[in-house]
A and B are shown apart, each in its own frame.
Chain A
Amino acid sequence: MLTIAVAGNPNCGKSALFNLLAEGRQKVGNWPGVTVDKKIGMIRHKNLDAKLVDLPGIYALDAWSEDERISRDYLLSGEPEFLLNIIDSTNIERNLYLTTILQEMGVKMLVVLNMIDLAEKNLIGINLEQFEKELGSPVVAVSALRAESKSIIINKIAELLKTENKPQPVPVPSEIENANEEVKDELLAEWRYKRIENIMAKSVKKGIPTYAESDKIDKIVMNKFLGIPLFLLVMYLLFWLTIHISGVFIDFFDIAFGAIFVDGVRHVLTSINTPEVIVSILADGVGAGIQTLSTFLPITFSLFFFIGLLESSGYMARAAFVMDKVMRTMGLPGKAFIPMLIGFGCSVPAIMATRNLENKRDRILSVFMVPFMSCGARLPVYILFTAAFFPNNAQNVIFALYMIGIVLAVATGLLLKGTVYKGSLAPFIMELPQYHTPQIKGAAINAMFRLKAFIKKSGRILIPIIAILGMLNSAGVLPAVGKSIVPVFTPIGISEENWQASVGLFSGLFAKESIIGTMNSLYSQDAEKEQKEEFSLVEKLGEAFVSIAENAKALGTKIKNPLGFESSKEDAYLFDNMRKAFNNSSAAAFAFLLFVLLYVPCLSAVAVAAREVGLVLVILQSLYSTVLGWCLAVIFYQFVEGHSAIRIVEAALILPAMVFGIVFYARKSGRFG
């Protein structure tokens, strides 16, 4: 089948056009050797059957940038037989730079003047015939907002495939080819832009200033005094909508996928007399893995949907512009604010959002910092413990935990910036596009694409890990594991008898909120009598749908009480047992919470991060945060209550040794980009 590559600058409306041509049918592929997702679509039309491959948004084809290198390698690979070069009609001059480079390569292509409606609105006069003649490549003018654009482009491609031969490469003058290295870059770029200026002068009449509308909006949005509060407001809205809208659907996915892939599979397999081992592998293992993965679908979709809206509106670039100076102190670009913020909701989509950062080192740094943000799954653990141990002071204790997380994230950023990345910050060059109406459909299609990539690539890591642990869990191995690892936690104030706490920590690997469920059942006596219900798929699915309505209703109370401090109706009996287990020590309870805040982010976050930065760095991060959590918890507990100088010295030695080891490895290995 014919393969067509789609190339264009960032912000040229490429994905909207891609969606129009491929009618939303998109597959996820891989570019060799990098984590950038390859977007593949299909054109099915009576005049043309073709595979469409979306290249990353690029300005040129230099080998220095990852995206540009991928694009160049792909174009030179010979796989694409045709090229669509998309151009923003309101910004032709700069967009043509890539076109001139493509012409020098001599590829068969069609230049698509996109967003022609906006150019018309801005009274930019393009003499299409003249433009085509001066440029020397075939051109069509379209708007992704107009449905007929699809057939205009497709018919033109079909016609070109029949008639046109491969064009001759546009030759670069030999005096530039042979110029001295020191001036060649400048001479080549100047020559290309001279060519472009010449084409522009002969075929494009300047319109009214295209940024007039945007400047009016910026007067308010980027105002010296209003800019920052507005930024915070937009970010708060992004966070709130992402977390709460997905929160309405999370139980639905949990219950429905659990009913089908765990209980359903078990029911069917048992009824046909499958051996228990196989039932356990498929239901408690693989089924539970699929169930866990499914609970992240709503939050992943809603996060990328709202990010997509912000990006297509042009505000995201402004947010990065506003926050750059603040984030730079931690060695990160302004855009890195988003993953940090989303980290307060859930580390999984937050780590996925690091994808939007251009430089590998920025992504690695963010992956190291994000897990320190107290995610939504840690909050219920804080609430339960503070209710039991700090009933009069709950808010302050929880606030302190959040702040400790933020301080440690910043400290981690400063540490890596000051050692591994020593001062060398990736340079910041960013286009500020005009404001546009946010594209709801485009954002939804894009979020679906990210969701598919998440399922396909993270599922491969997450499902087997959860499967193995899930099987261990159902085989009843966990209490034994908990009892055997409890000595590790005695220095933070957990006594040998309190093995339930370490089992809780272990189950927290699945998801930190599982700590509660586990401890709840272990500390309450009714742990044993887990009733076996009669399985009914219909009933469970009904329950799943009801959960949507119930959570939507609960959203109303969340608006009134955003932090969720309700007067907890938890059993006084449970609190009593918890206090007994922790020897009535609130210092031990706080040390435990410190450790919960800091130790290995849940396995789902680990799986996603492994995909972004590789398994080795993720293991390093997990090690770093867990040792950090243990040392701080030990130092805190021993200072306040344990009063063991040896323990304090021990922890105070392990901590810098670990930090030194990681920095040493980071410098040696060269894995940190």
Chain B
Amino acid sequence: MNRIISLNPGDKAVVERYAQGIDRAYKLKLLALGLTPGTEFTLIKTSPFGDPIEIELRGYRLSLRRHEAEGVLCSQ
């Protein structure tokens, strides 16, 4: 099981599940935005300062902070 924090630009990954203790409001928003279990996404790039990151999923782009997205467990 991988965490978003360890992905590099260009890497693809699939959402496996959400970690147990994750903030529910945060999880609900990510789910609404399409980051449902089974969804593939690509890490496009990082901000010039290294964080946040930009990912592509379902044909659009989303940006998240690495450490906040830690609760999104994925596989490569």
Contacts and interface: CB of A to CB of B under 8 A. Distances in A.
**What is the size category of the interface that chain A forms with chain B?**
35 or more
B48 A428 contact: no
B28 A185 contact: yes
A62 B31 CA distance: 11
B63 A428 contact: yes
Interface string A414-456: 0000000000000111111100000000000000000000000
Contacts of B38: 190
B17 A186 contact: yes
A65 interface: yes
Interface stretch (A166-174, A222-230, A283-291): A222-230
B1 to A, nearest CB: 16
Interface in B8-43: 17-18, 23-34, 36-39
A431 B59 CA distance: 12
Interface in B53-67: 54, 56, 58-65
B45 interface: yes
Contacts, number: 115
A322 B61 contact: no
A90 B25 CA distance: 27
Contacts of A321: 47, 52, 54, 63
Contact of B32 (A189, A210, A223, A326): A189
Interface stretch (A32-40, A91-99, A503-511): A91-99
A55 to B, nearest CB: 15
Majority DSSP secondary structure for residues of B touching A: mixed
Contacts of B58: 93-94
A431 B49 contact: no
B14 to A, nearest CB: 13
Contacts of B25: 62, 64-65, 427
Interface residues of B, number: 36
Contacts of B60: 91, 94, 210-211, 431
Contacts of A90: 59
Contacts of B64: 428-429
A64 B28 contact: yes
B15 to A, nearest CB: 10
Contacts of A322: 47-49
A322 B62 CA distance: 14
B31 A185 contact: yes
A432 B64 CA distance: 10
Contacts of B49: 228, 322, 324-326
B33 A432 contact: no
A62 B63 contact: no
B68 A427 contact: yes
A59 interface: yes
8 contacts: A62-B28, A64-B29, A97-B34, A224-B48, A321-B63, A427-B65, A430-B62, A432-B63
- List the 5 closest A-B pairs by CB distance, nearest first: A189-B31, A60-B32, A64-B25, A227-B48, A325-B49
Interface of B: 17-18, 23-34, 36-39, 45, 47-52, 54, 56, 58-65, 68
